Amino acid sequence: MPTPFAQPLTVSLPDGRRLGLTRYGNPAHPAVIFHHGYASSGLSVPPCAALLAELQLQVLAPDRPGAGHSDVDENLTLDSFAADVLGAVDALQVPGRLGVAGWSAGGLHGLALAARYPGRVASLHLLSTILPFGDPAAYEDFTMGWKTIRYANEYLPALGRLAFAEISEEWQEKPDASIDKFLRLIFGPPEQVVGFEPANRLLLRDAAVQGFTHEGQGVYFDSRAICQPLPFSLAAVQASTTIWHGTADTIWPPESLHYLTERIPQARINLLPGEGHMLYLRHWAAILRQARAEMG
């Protein structure tokens, strides 16, 4: 369920689809657009009502097509979702230039928004981001596990679609068991999972349940979108760009981040010692403070 300060919204898009968003904070304030991770939703924003009031900032967290209250889009691309988000921002009359943040797979969607609409984006924050699956230059730095996933997505799409439908059923029927399985994947041994904050466990659980609505179709089409060749040049990203990454990230090791710093004009890495793939949950206040300062 949404946190008390969260407001669910739905915007109608030009092609008749609905785009679901969650708004955190005052609609009169400038906005940071938060792109959720893979198989998640806009409910994955940490509670921060007092901080948003202090910063005079709102966070808008759109659900990608097929997640939450967003309709499925079988033609989803990085470009199409960037257009969806900007259309929603305009429909909601969000003031000022945007801050943009993207966690994990959401980083690619953040890059698309910044590259396609550079005049609208003042600040970009890539949080434990993945790299583009469709770019051979990035693929060179993939681990064998990610290369296998890339291969399966390209050559066994029907199998993936069935698998996501089955996983969706598990999340809807057994959300607690599913989140515990996810946390073991992220953190490893059970004793490390036990130390994970209960509030974060619930936040991620509820976000993933929403992410796996529509029989997992949203996750399937999102995976197809992030495996396509980049439809834009990273050199088009003109916003100040901070890459927040942990030295202990076992999902996406930091050694590959040179791919981004070599291609994004204003990119810099903020490498956090001992942090893993979920670092945004612990550093959310610092991320928002920096984003607000860069938005002016």
Q: How many CA atoms lie within 13 A of 229 on its CB side?
A: 4
Highest-confidence range of 146-155, 223-232, 286-295, by mean pLDDT?
A: 286-295
112-125 residue pLDDT tens: 999 999 999 999 99
pLDDT at residue number 148: 77
pLDDT beyond 90 at 184: no
Angle at 179 between CA 162 and CA 107, to 5 degrees: 75
Q: Is the pLDDT of residue 189 over 80?
A: no
Q: What is the pLDDT of residue 192?
A: 59
Would the pLDDT of 196 be above 80? Answer: no
> Is the distance from CB of 268 to CB of 239 less than 8 angstroms?
no
Least confident of 6-15, 83-92, 177-186: 177-186
pLDDT for residue 188: 67
Please name the helix (run of DSSP H) or strand (run of DSSP E) that holds residue 296, with its range, or none.
Answer: none
Six-digit token string for 81: 């979702």
Q: What's the start-to-end Cα distance of the chain, in Å?
A: 33
256 vs 24: CA distance, rounded Å = 33
**pTM score of the predicted model:** 0.94
Q: How many CA atoms lie within 13 A of 178 on its CB side?
A: 22
Given a cut of 70, whether residue 195 has pLDDT beyond it is no
Q: Which domains does the chain have, with CATH numbers?
A: 6-295 (3.40.50.1820)
Tens digit of each residue's pLDDT (9 = 90 or more) over 72-115: 999 999 999 999 999 999 999 999 999 999 999 999 999 999 99
Give one DSSP letter per residue of 176-197, joined into a string: HHHHHHHHHHHH-SHHHHHTS-
**Weakest mean pLDDT among 10-24, 117-131, 190-204, 235-249:** 190-204
